[in-house]
Amino acid sequence: MHRHMQSHIPEEPYGSVQQHEILYEDDAKPSARRTRMNFFPMLLNLFLPWFMFCIAFYTFSSRFHHLYPSISWTVYGFTCLPVVMLWLQWLGLKAVHVAQGGIRGLVPKSWLAYSVFAFTAAVVGGAFFGLENYGSFLAPFYSATDMQSLANANPSVARGSFMLDAGKVNWIPGTELDFSRSWHFKNGDVYCVVPIVLRNADDNAIVEPASASYDFWAVGKNCCSVGSSDFQCGDYNTPGALASLRETRADDINMYRLAVMQAESMFDMVSAQPLFFSWVADPVKTLTEVKQVSRNNGIKICFSAFGFFALSLAATTGLVLYVEQSKRAAEEQQQIPHMGEAF
């Protein structure tokens, strides 16, 4: 068969260019080139976004933000500057690419597009989770520790207007929660309230406040039903619990006020200056636990962010390799001559 095929190939004069040489010039022969990845920019796109995520996170999830909120936002603004520059560079290259007719190759192949994504996700995600961790754990912790600590407070004598700066309060023996007059307000979450009162040890009766105003309330979210007075928040059932920590979340306080207004109407009582507290057995232990939960949460979030950037980088690398190999396979397929052309 080989001889039969050779008999159909016309012989060329000595010194002439053979047909198969025209078809397979050196610069057109199919090659087995491999796509080589530059590992240095890959490492930069892994660690730098993660580093910026941690900076943004701890800019807000820290005592620094609690003491100097405006300065922390300024620091965050400087953190965003590299991201803005990356966006401007990427958009500028895209604009030039479109202006010159979208010719392939005008935009350099680089990690710029992924850098824009990764650094944007870093500064936005770091700020979001940092503020979330601060609002959930650190803001109540720092507010309680920065405000005054009061001992032997008497709910039947003290007034809310005299304890506006109280952060940690230890009540006198006999102080308890009046579960019979607990109530709630539902707005997505259920905001539960119950008055803090003093019970007379002699006749076991609740001592009415001297001001006729019930200003002190224990509160909690989603720890009571919407159909009855069944407050079950904090250390409500801990024997000997006589302490409370101030609630300072503005959004929650507004909801607790509405719950108190409903309790006033329901139980024919007055609350002129309501103050809201979490009912706890040991305020120092509770604050220590809150601080530790915040620290552990921050570590988990930062390491989760590293995993996110590692996975997104691996996925992007795999996609780039797949696209490049698909293009190269298509180009090589076009370079292979048909059997009819060869003979």
* Separation CA 17–CA 59 (nearest Å): 72
Give the per-residue pLDDT at 6: 46
Angle formed at CA 78 by CA 75 and CA 84, multiple of 5 degrees? 145
Gyration radius (Cα) of the chain, Å? 36
Give the per-residue pLDDT at 343: 45
Give the per-residue pLDDT at 111: 73
Residue 231 main-chain phi, psi, to 5 deg: -65, 125
* Separation CA 92–CA 325 (nearest Å): 28
Amino acid in position 57: F
* Separation CA 192–CA 177 (nearest Å): 13
Give the per-residue pLDDT at 337: 56
Give the per-residue pLDDT at 245: 94
| Burial class of residue 274 in the structure, from the number of CB atoms within 10 Å of its CB (0-12 exposed, 13-18 middle, 19+ buried) | buried
Give the per-residue pLDDT at 89: 87
Q: Which residues contact 276 (CB under 8 A, 6 or more apart)?
A: 193, 217, 218, 219, 246, 247, 252, 253, 256
Amino acid in position 7: S
Q: Which residues contact 213 (CB under 8 A, 6 or more apart)?
A: 159, 160, 270, 271, 272, 273
Report the chain (343 residues): mean pLDDT per 10 consecutive residues: 46 46 45 60 89 96 93 95 91 81 52 88 96 92 90 92 92 93 93 94 87 94 86 91 91 94 94 94 91 95 96 87 75 62 48
